[in-house]
Amino acid sequence: MPGEWNRVAMITRDEKELPGWIGPALGKEGIVLTCHNCRNEKELLALAGNAEVLWITGANPVLRAETLPKLPGCRAIFRSGSGVDDLPVEAASTRGIPVCNSPESIAEAVAEHAVSLLLALIRRIPADDRAVRSGTWSSSPDGRNWHISHRTLGLVGFGRIARHMIKMLSGFEMKTLCHDPYAPDDLLRGHGVESVSLDELLQRSDYVSLHCPLTQATRHLIGEAQLRRMKPNALLINTARGGVIDQSALCRALADGRIGGAALDVTDPEPPGIDSPLLRLENVIVTPHVAAFSADFAINFWNGAVAALVDICRGDYRSHCVNFDRLTLQA
């Protein structure tokens, strides 16, 4: 039977860009899907004027706070994947519109990438590879400043990605700290994680991995003052959003040797300019925002999207909702 809502508009892709099975799969649930890669507000209103759920993949080029009043039928906004920093979350909240995502569809792959970046930094794999290719064969302990087993890992944010990361690193018997004001204490205890303030996490951790969303509250969460609290040899991993770090402050800390290194899948801006000081630092690994991608990406991404859309259309959106605590529920 159709759910509470059954009109979904995909506003960032044409129908031919979606796997052919998605329309029929949604149709079996009583959901009518329309698609167009909207490039301006006029196209968006023409496609989605009567839609109840707006579906977005990738960047959001057209949906703005000032557009929402022109979409009186909109009951939910859904972005496949995790990031919602370019969506009008606050404006949607005041109108009682849930903003939803499907981070479970990419969580495992992003965690794999975060773990890979951490191991690559600790074991100096990119630096050694570059040295060998340039003709230098230096088989010595010099510069081996890190070890992973029995060290302390600090997680900023405790969503699905961070929890996958703990599982993947479990064999290294690390001490794990976490700062997440929204994570229930019993969830943290169940994973053997110690809940601490951000300052304490930065002071005690050998390795810090960022897993929080980019919001007004978390923009430049890691800045000059926070970097100064970290251990001199600490390593910083970011697979969240580039804006969570003050990149200029990070470059200064790395250049001055105030922390040991950083590995970033996200930067601010993206991509960094070719003359960015970030790219001139030897103690940095940068990958081009590819953490979510793997051989299983497509099947996980689209299956996760369809499952989430079915839940949302049935009114069961709470587990997918990023603004549930801010919603002003409509009468």
177: nearest Cα among 199, 203, 149, 205: 205
Q: Nearest Cα to 284, choosing from 223, 328, 238, 230?
A: 238
270 is catalytic: yes
Per the residue annotation, which of 13, 289, 314, 326 is the catalytic one? 289
Could you give the CA distance from residue 243 to residue 267 in angstroms, rounded to a whole number?
Answer: 7
Taking the CA atoms of residue 129, residue 131, residue 137 and residue 139 in that order, the dihedral angle to the nearest 10 degrees is -70
Amino acid at 237: I
Phi, psi of 11 (to 5 degrees): -105, 0
52 has catalytic annotation: no
- Structure-block tokens of residue 305: 């999207």
DSSP string for residues in 195-253: E--HHHHHHH-SEEEE-----TTTTTSB-HHHHHHS-TT-EEEE-S-GGGB-HHHHHHH
Tokens coding 50: 């009567």
Active site residue 289: yes
- Of the candidates 144, 150, 270, 318, the residue annotated as catalytic is 270
**Chain-centroid distance, C-alpha 17:** 23
Residues 6 or more apart whose Cβ sits within 8 Å of residue 236: 207, 208, 210, 222, 230, 245, 250, 259, 261, 262, 263
Catalytic residue of the set 7, 95, 179, 241:
241
- CB atoms under 10 Å from CB of 146, counted, come to 18
Maximum distance among all Cα pairs of the chain, rounded to whole angstroms: 71
Q: Say which DSSP state 85 is in.
A: T
Active site residues: 241, 270, 289
